[in-house]
Structure 1
Amino acid sequence: TGCGDAYRAGLLFGISHGWDWPSTGRLASVMGSIKIAHRGAQNHTPTRDEISARFKKAFGSAPF
């Protein structure tokens, strides 16, 4: 499904930007959840605003 790839992308983003582990894991989860919401291969490119809104809805604060 590509969910693992999307999860790893969020994980690597957080690590490479010096985020703490809880925030990094949350971002990774958000990225996986965005992927699973779209059918088929990874061809949806979420915007920064979409990622931020989903993160805030799930965890109460925006990541960016």
Structure 2
Amino acid sequence: IHTPEKSYDIPPAHERRVVDPTGCGDAFRAGLIFGIQKGYDWLTIGRMGNLMGALKVEHPGTQNQRFDFDEFNEQFKQQFGYAL
């Protein structure tokens, strides 16, 4: 992520299996937008986007993945070592 002040290297999120990449860019952007709306820092926002993309590719179709914030937060903690 590049801002006027700084560039951030965002670590990847790891999927368990790749089923269908269709829509992972949309899921990534949804994670970014959600993080921005909630006021998270840029590193967390990027990680949220990466995790959304990783979770999406594990499911067939465009946006057929289903989870709530608690499930997302648990995956986030497992992937990145801290909870939202």
TM-score by length of 1: 0.89
Q: What is residue 42 of structure 2 aligned with on the other side?
A: 21
Moved runs in structure 1, 4+ residues, more than 4 A?
none
**Structure 1 letter corresponding to 2:80:** F
Measure, in 2, the Cα distance between the counterparts of 1:41 and 1:9: 13
Name the structure with the higher helix share.
1
Secondary structure, aligned partner of 1:45: coil
Q: What is residue 69 of structure 2 aligned with on the other side?
A: 48
Q: Give CA deviations for 1:1-60 in whole Å, capped at 9, x if unaligned.
A: 010000000000111111110000011111111101112221222211221111011100
Q: What is residue 36 of structure 1 aligned with on the other side?
A: 57
In structure 2, runs of 5+ residues without a counterpart are: 1-21
In structure 1, runs of 5+ residues without a counterpart are: none
Pair 1:57-2:78 in alignment: yes
Pair 1:4-2:44 in alignment: no
Structure label with greater radius of gyration: 2
TM-score by length of 2: 0.70
Measure, in 2, the Cα distance between the counterparts of 1:35 and 1:21: 21
